[in-house]
Amino acid sequence: GENVEQHPSTLSVQEGDSAVIKCTYSDSASNYFPWYKQELGKRPQLIIDIRSNMDKRQGQRVTVLLNKTVKHLSLQIAATQPGDSAVYFCAESGGYNKLIFGAGTRLAVHP
């Protein structure tokens, strides 16, 4: 069945360094890949997304890369700040009327 593997499960970086989170998805028909940030005790919030007709998308300090050939997805957060500390989820959406989420990466940014 459809599955999204996400790693690492935890990530600790120093403030100012970059953080990279990677995902592998299983459904080659997936066409939409959002990333969500969930701060402690709060709801997941969309931070960036990418569609299958793109291989790179950039936001403010965040970049998502999509390699459809090997079904890999990655999120890079540049110049991390303590406020970036949260759990990050990748997800995929195909023709199944749902988003399938990875298990999440807990990012800790240390001052």
Residues binding other proteins (CB under 8 A) = 4, 6, 9, 31-32, 34, 42-46, 49, 89, 93, 97-104
Closest to other proteins by CB, 1 or 111: 1
Closest to other proteins by CB, 14 or 60: 60
Q: How far is the CB of 81 from other proteins (least distance, A)?
A: 23
Q: How far is the CB of 66 from other proteins (least distance, A)?
A: 15
Closest to other proteins by CB, 42 or 72: 42
Contacts of 6 (CB under 8 A, 6+ apart): 21, 22, 23, 89, 90, 102, 103, 104, 105
Spatial distance between the Cα atoms of 16 and 6, rounded to a whole number of angstroms: 23
Residue 81 tokens, joined = 């700040």
